[in-house]
Amino acid sequence: MKRFLILIVLLPILSVVGCNKEKGEQTEEKAVASSSATPAAAATPTPAAKLVMDKLKLKAAKGWEGEFNKAMASWTFEKYVPAGDGTNDLGGRFYVDKWDDDMPSSAQAYAEKLKTKQGFQDMGYIWTKAEPKDIPGGWLVTGECIDKTDKEAKPERAFVANVGGCSCRGSGFKNDDLLNEAVAACQSIKP
């Protein structure tokens, strides 16, 4: 009986961890985004249920690197920039995963939630500026957010987009150029 209960408890946990049964390896893959800086027009939104996230295509400017996490079925893209002291700092980061159908479906409704509900998108954060607009294949909200759990936090450049059935979001960009590169990459999503 104890073995049966242990199995019932561990089964959901093991399915989320994402181990390769044959090799016992962690199931994360690294990918380097295409170095083309020209955004392609986004496709007509694809129902999230039909997306195969590890096959997702997007074009990112030079220097952006993507990593796919099989357990989360999500991409993380990062770009490092010179810090001025001979080292590199994180210039920006954005995430791409399936759009959650329970979220507001219009840019205006999503922007309103970002501005009025702390933690709506990211724990502890609220948006101080949110500018919604329609884009080919979906919509985009750009603006600034701040971590309300950190008394010394400063506003960060941020965006969220619903493109091709994907949620694409990021914050903490060092400058507008990096934010625009991330947005352009998201607009190029091809399921």
pLDDT in tens, the chain (191 residues): 333 333 333 333 333 333 333 333 333 333 444 433 333 343 344 455 577 898 888 899 999 999 999 999 999 999 999 998 999 999 999 999 999 888 998 999 999 999 999 999 999 999 999 999 999 889 999 999 999 999 999 999 999 999 988 999 999 999 999 999 999 999 998 87
- Cα 188 to Cα 191: distance, rounded to the nearest angstrom: 10
Q: What is the arrangement of strands in the sheet containing 65-69, beginning at the earlier edge strand?
A: 28-32, 65-69, 74-82, 88-98, 166-173, 156-163, 138-147, 125-135
Complete DSSP assignment for 45-105: PPPGGG--GGG-B-B--TT-EEEEETTTTEEEEEEEEE-SSSSEEEEEEEEEEEPPTTS-S
Sequence-ordered strand ranges (E) for 7-52: 28-32
Q: Where are the domains of the chain?
A: 28-187
Q: What is the pLDDT of residue 158?
A: 96
Which helix (H) or strand (E) is 15 found in, with range? Answer: helix 2-17
- Cα 133 to Cα 123: distance, rounded to the nearest angstrom: 24
User: Per CATH, which fold does 28-187 belong to?
Assistant: Protein Transport Mog1p; Chain A (3.40.1000)
- Asked if 72 and 15 touch (Cβ cutoff 8 Å), the reply is no
- Environment class of 103 (CB within 10 Å of its CB; exposed 0-12, middle 13-18, buried 19+): middle
Q: Could you give phi then psi for residue 18, rounded to 5 degrees?
A: 80, 55
